[in-house]
């Protein structure tokens, strides 16, 4: 078993479990209420960290990969930048066309632990789940592609994705409960999300290169997805839920600071 395979297995498993645990926080109700108060700060922390990873790790590594394979000038980076934009627009399409009812961080209130009154339709809830499965698959692709570039980059991308997995599971679980469903359906929905993340990691690891979808193509595409989640999903939700609270804004800056601190420590350990 190669070190890369073991690393990806651990990263994929932890990211998947975070989705499921985010849904489990809904039960019992006292944990749900406590976590809901903490949610906006975790969203803000994840947003800052993910934004910093995209700008300081994924984008530079994409440019280096393309310049290494083809000595090109900065003006010839049309293809990787189009892939980055494509990943961003793909996420926009999925979240606002295929699954228009999904908003990361959205809270749906239910009357009891197992079965709530129907606030949204079952079709809307399951459409949101289906759309989000595409998003979570690319979470896994992002982890695998970044890890194949560099172990340090892979860890930073994994951590960025891991930080928003709990709110993601909480959100989709809340939507399923708001459709009048219970614990079993919440567990199925969050487990499917975790499974597609895990599949994204290993589909790319096992067959990505064999079908010509190399890291040089996958990294900018996945980077566009990550950029969308950070800048167009998380930041607006942070602004919405945080209101005028300076502490929520400071949590975004704390996420950026956490990135730089983690990056510095990894440089000390890895040595490059």
pLDDT in tens, 2-39: 888 999 999 999 999 999 998 888 776 666 666 666 77
Higher per-residue pLDDT: 238 or 252: 252
In angstroms, the CA 47 to CA 154 distance is: 18
Q: What is the pLDDT of residue 96?
A: 76
Q: What is the pLDDT of residue 114?
A: 46
Q: How many domains does the chain have?
A: 1
Q: What's the average model confidence in pLDDT over 102-116? A: 49
Check if the beta carbon of residue 143 is closer than 8 Å to that of residue 78. Answer: no
Q: How confident is the model at residue 271 (pLDDT cuts 50, 70, 90)?
A: low
Q: Which domain holds residue 37?
A: 3-270
In angstroms, the CA 50 to CA 55 distance is: 9
Higher per-residue pLDDT: 98 or 53: 53
- Indicate the pTM of the whole model: 0.84
Q: What is the pLDDT of residue 206?
A: 85
In angstroms, the CA 233 to CA 211 distance is: 31
Higher per-residue pLDDT: 178 or 28: 178
Q: How confident is the model at residue 108 (pLDDT cuts 50, 70, 90)?
A: very low
Q: What is the pLDDT of residue 212?
A: 53
In angstroms, the CA 205 to CA 196 distance is: 14
Size of the chain, expressed as the number of residues it contains: 272
Within 10 angstroms of residue 155's Cβ, the number of other Cβ atoms is 19
Q: What is the pLDDT of residue 112?
A: 45
In angstroms, the CA 261 to CA 256 distance is: 9
């Amino acid at each position: 078993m190669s070190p890369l395979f073991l690393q990806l297995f651990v990263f994929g498993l932890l990211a998947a479990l975070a989705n499921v645990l985010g849904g489990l926080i809904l039960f019992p109700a006292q944990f749900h209420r406590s976590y809901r108060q903490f949610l906006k700060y975790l969203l803000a922390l994840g947003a800052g960290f993910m934004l910093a990873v995209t700008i300081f790790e994924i984008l530079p590594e994409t440019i280096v990969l393309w310049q290494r394979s083809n000595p090109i000038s900065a003006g010839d980076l049309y293809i990787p930048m189009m892939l980055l934009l494509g990943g961003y627009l793909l996420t926009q399409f999925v979240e606002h066309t295929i699954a228009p009812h999904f908003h990361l961080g959205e809270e749906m209130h239910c009357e009891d632990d197992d079965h709530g009154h129907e606030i949204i339709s079952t079709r809307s809830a399951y459409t949101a789940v289906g759309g989000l499965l595409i998003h979570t698959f690319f979470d896994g692709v992002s982890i695998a592609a970044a890890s194949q570039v560099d172990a340090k980059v892979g860890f930073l991308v994994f951590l960025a994705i891991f930080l928003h997995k709990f709110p993601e599971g909480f959100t989709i679980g809340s939507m399923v409960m708001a459709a009048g469903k219970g614990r079993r359906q919440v567990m199925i929905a969050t487990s499917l999300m975790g499974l597609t993340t895990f599949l994204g990691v290993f589909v790319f690891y096992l067959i990505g290169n064999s079908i010509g979808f190399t890291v040089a193509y996958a990294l900018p595409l996945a980077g566009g997805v990550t950029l969308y989640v950070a800048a167009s999903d998380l930041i607006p939700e942070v602004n919405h839920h945080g209101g005028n609270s300076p502490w929520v804004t400071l949590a975004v800056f704390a996420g950026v600071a956490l990135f730089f601190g983690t990056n510095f420590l990894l440089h000390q350990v890895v040595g490059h």
